[in-house]
Structure 1
Amino acid sequence: MSARVDHVVTSGTFSLDGGTWEVDNNVWLVGDDHEVVVIDAAHDPDEILAAVGDRVVRAIICTHAHDDHINAAADLATATDALVHLHPADDPLWRVLYPDADYEPLHDGQQFEVGGVFLEVLHTPGHAPGAVCVYAPQLDAIFTGDTLFQGGPGATGRSFSDFPTIIDSISERLLALPVNTKVFTGHGDSTTIGAEAPHLDEWIARGH
C-alpha cells in the first residue's frame, strides 16, 4: 500500500468568545505520491502547499470550524482548486471567519478515496456542533481534530461546546474502534485508542 500520512505543524492564533490564544496546529496530509487529502488547513497555506508538493489535492476536510483549523482553508482551496468540506452544524463558526465563502457539506458516513485508501467521516459533536473525525481503517488511523487528545477529550468550556456530548461521541464512536488505531490529533502528540480507552471514567469524573 503506497498511501501514507504526512504531517506539518503550523502556528498562529485561536480566537473565540472575546479571547485570543497562541496555538500550534497539526495539519495532516493523507495520500500517496500523486494525490492527497488535507485535514485541517491551519494558519499557513504556503507551508501546507510545500508539504503537498506536486500532488493533486483531492479535498480539504475541516474537522470543525474553530478559526485555527480553517484559517488557511480558503487560500489553500484557491491555490489548489480543491473544495473545502465542513459539517454544516458548524456553519455559525465558519461564518465568523468566512461570511461569504461557501463549503461542501460533510455528513456522517461520507467517504473519500485517496491514494487507494478510504476515509470515512464520523460526526462527533461536543467540542463543536459539527465536529467530525476522519477514520482511515486501512491505515489503522483516525484524525480526531479537537475531539480526542492524548490524555482526554477536547475542551468544552466555550460557546457551541458541550461536555456530555463530547463524552458520548468519544465513547460511542471512537472507543469502539480497534485498540491499535492511531489517533492523530489537532494539537500535540499522537496516541492510540488503546492508550486512551481505559481513562474514560476518569475524564467523566473530572468533567473538564
Structure 2
Amino acid sequence: MAKLEALASITRLSDHVVRVLGQNPGKFTLQGTNTYIIGRQNTYTLIDTGEGKEEYIPVLASALRDIAKPSAPTDPDVSDIILSHKHGDHIGGLPSVLALLRQLWEERNISKYFPLATEATLSSTPTIPSSLQVLHTPGHTADSIAIYVPSDDALYTADTVLGQGTAVFEDLASLISSLHKMHDFAESKGQKETKLYPGHGPVVEEGRELIEMYIQHRFEREEQIVRVLGSEEGSKVDPWTTWSIVTKIYAPYPRNLWLPAAHSINLHLKKLEKDGRVKHVGGEGIDSQWVLVKI
C-alpha cells in the first residue's frame, strides 16, 4: 500500500463541511474513520460517529465549539446524526457522541435531548435533512448508503469508495451496481467533476474518475480469474480451488496478502457463478472448487 497521506484531526473542507477524524488509525481504517459535520451554522448534521475512541470526543467537541454559530440561544449544535452503515468503526461512537451533545446543550441551558441510543434507534427509518440526498449503495454492506451534499457538489461514499486504496465488500454484484449508480448520479449533476468525501482517507477531487477505476479494477480481476480457469495450465488442474487461483494470481505479491485476497476472489467467483460463467463443484471457503462453464 502507498504511504498514507497525513490528515489533520479537524479539517474545514468548505464553508459547509468540516471533517473530524475518529482517532482510530489502523490497517483497515487507514488514517481513521472520517466523520463529517455538515452545515453553515447551527443546527448541524453529523455523518457517522467513529468507533467510540475516548480521544475522539474532545476533538469533536473542539470542532463543534469552533464552528457553532447559533441563530438563537436555544439552538442545539447538532440536530441530526446519520449512520452510513453497520460497521462498528462508524456507529460505535454513537453513545459517547450523544453524551457529548447533552453536555454541550446543558452548558447553554438547552432542554431538548436526543433519545438514548438503542437497537431500535439504530434500525429505525431515518429522517434525512432536506439539504442532503441519500443513495442506497449496498455491496460493502447490505445497508451501506452514500450521501450527496449539494452545497459542495460532493458525494459522501462511506466505505464503498475510499480516499486511498480499494474497499472490501460483502456482495460483488451489489457493489458493482452501486458503483454504477454513484457514477451515473454524479454524471447527472452536470458538473465537470464531483468530489468524493470518503469514509476513510483524503478527499477525492476527481470522483467520477476514481469510481470508474473501481469498476474497471473489478472487471479486470473477474477476467483474470476466467483466464486462469480457461488457460492451458487450467486444463491440467481439475478442479481449481479458490486458494489455487489466489496463489496463481497473487504470486507476485507478499504471501501475507493471499489470505485476505481469497475472500475477494471467492466473492468474484460467486458473482461469476450467478452470471453463468463458472460452476461451483464442491468444497467450502478457500477450498471451494470451480470449473469454467463451456459456452
Normalised TM-score (structure 2): 0.53
The 1:167–1:152 alpha-carbon spacing in structure 2 relative to 1, beyond 3 Å, is farther
Q: Please give the residue correspondences for 1:35-54 in structure 2 after superposition, counting only pairs within 5 Å.
A: 35-42=43-50, 43=52, 44-53=56-65, 54=68
Match of residue 11 from structure 1: 23
Aligned partner of 1:8: which letter?
A: V
Aligned partner of 2:17: which letter?
A: V
Match of residue 95 from structure 1: none
Match of residue 121 from structure 2: 102
Match of residue 84 from structure 2: 63
Identify unmatched segments of 5+ residues in structure 1. 15-19, 85-97
Number of residue pairs aligned between Structure 1 and Structure 2: 179
Please state which structure has a larger fraction of its residues in strand.
1
The 1:172–1:79 alpha-carbon spacing in structure 2 relative to 1, beyond 3 Å, is same
1:152 to partner: Cα distance: 6.6
Match of residue 139 from structure 2: 126
Q: Secondary structure at the match of 2:142?
A: coil
1:67 to partner: Cα distance: 0.4
Find the aligned partners of 1:21 and 1:194 in 2 and give their Cα distance: 23
Q: Please give the residue correspondences for 1:1-208 in structure 2 after superposition, counting only pairs within 5 Å.
A: 3-12=15-24, 24-42=32-50, 43=52, 44-53=56-65, 54=68, 56-80=77-101, 81-82=113-114, 100=119, 102-103=121-122, 105-106=124-125, 111-113=128-130, 118-150=131-163, 154-156=167-169, 161-178=170-187, 179-191=192-204, 192-199=206-213, 200-206=215-221, 208=264
41-50 or 173-182: bigger deviation:
173-182
* Contact 1:64–1:132 under 8 Å retained in 2: yes
Aligned partner of 1:162: which letter?
A: D
The 1:131–1:106 alpha-carbon spacing in structure 2 relative to 1, beyond 3 Å, is farther
135-144 or 120-129: bigger deviation:
135-144
Normalised TM-score (structure 1): 0.73
Aligned partner of 1:137: which letter?
A: P
1:105 to partner: Cα distance: 3.0
Match of residue 91 from structure 1: none
Please state which structure has a larger fraction of its residues in helix.
2
Give the root-mean-square deviation of aligned CA atoms: 2.9
Aligned partner of 1:134: which letter?
A: I
* Contact 1:152–1:196 under 8 Å retained in 2: no
The 1:62–1:172 alpha-carbon spacing in structure 2 relative to 1, beyond 3 Å, is same
Find the aligned partners of 2:128 and 2:29 in 1 and give their Cα distance: 33
Find the aligned partners of 1:150 and 1:103 in 2 and give their Cα distance: 26
- Quote the sequence identity (%): 23
Aligned partner of 1:33: which letter?
A: Q
Which of structures 1 and 2 has the larger relative contact order (alpha carbons within 8 angstroms, sep 6+)?
1
1:33 to partner: Cα distance: 2.8
